[in-house]
Amino acid sequence: MTIYETEVPGVGHKFELELDGDERLIVLIHHDGKREVYLRPGENEDSEKLFGLTGKRARQLGSILEGAYFQPVEMDDIQVPLGESIIEWVEIGADSPVVGDTLQEASIRNRTGVSVVAIQRGEETIANPRPDVTIEAGDMLVSLGTREEQQAFEELLGEEGTAGGGGVEGGDAGDA
């Protein structure tokens, strides 16, 4: 990652961080301590101000981003009591092939290996959902499975038209 640094006469100091593609995150530090954060989506596009912070808030945010309060670990190094399984949360988009299917009709476990252990629907949590629960756009599905199974689940949701209508395998009553 390249960081560009520029003195802005009469204002302060500007840092530009290259993100994916042509995107750049721009942090402008004013002489009075105020910080402004901008996002420039492309090389020839205008920057959009995301937010501004006081010096104190910027230092707090910097500490959080640096990991002073919580140090994330590499997922491959995590030892969890679930063995090889991990829990993921996946939001179901309006175009998802499983929208309108019951868990049994979607046959998620048979097709991917993951088990849907809960559904977050707005403020409601459906714990251990029954096979006849219909999946709705906007649902947050909580799934349990290995990394490979989770990847297969994401691929299933990303493939348009593969699970809708009659293309779904039938599942048994425990197929959630």
pLDDT at 162: 32
11-34 tens-digit pLDDT: 999 999 998 888 999 999 999 989
Instruction: Report, as an integer, the average pLDDT of 29-54.
Output: 93
Averaged pLDDT score across all residues of the chain = 83
Instruction: Report, as an integer, the average pLDDT of 147-161.
Output: 79
**Nearest alpha carbon to residue 45 among 24, 19, 70:** 24
Q: Is the pLDDT of residue 107 over 90?
A: yes
Residue of higher predicted confidence among 95 and 48: 48
**CA–CA distance, 77 with 24 (Å, rounded to integer):** 31
The stretches of the chain forming alpha helices (DSSP H) are 55-66, 103-106, 108-112, 147-158
Task: Label residue 100 exposed, middle or buried (CB < 10 Å: 0-12, 13-18, 19+).
Answer: middle
pLDDT at 21: 83
Tokens 């990394």, located at residue: 147
**Nearest alpha carbon to residue 82 among 140, 154, 145:** 145
Burial 17-27 (b: 16+ CB within 10 A, else e): eeeeeeebbbb
54-102 tens-digit pLDDT: 999 999 998 888 888 777 766 666 666 667 788 888 888 888 889 999 9
Q: Is the pLDDT of residue 170 over 50?
A: no
CB 104 within 8 A of CB 171: yes
Residue of higher predicted confidence among 91 and 162: 91
Percent of the chain having pLDDT more than 70? 84
**CA–CA distance, 122 with 118 (Å, rounded to integer):** 13
pLDDT at 2: 81
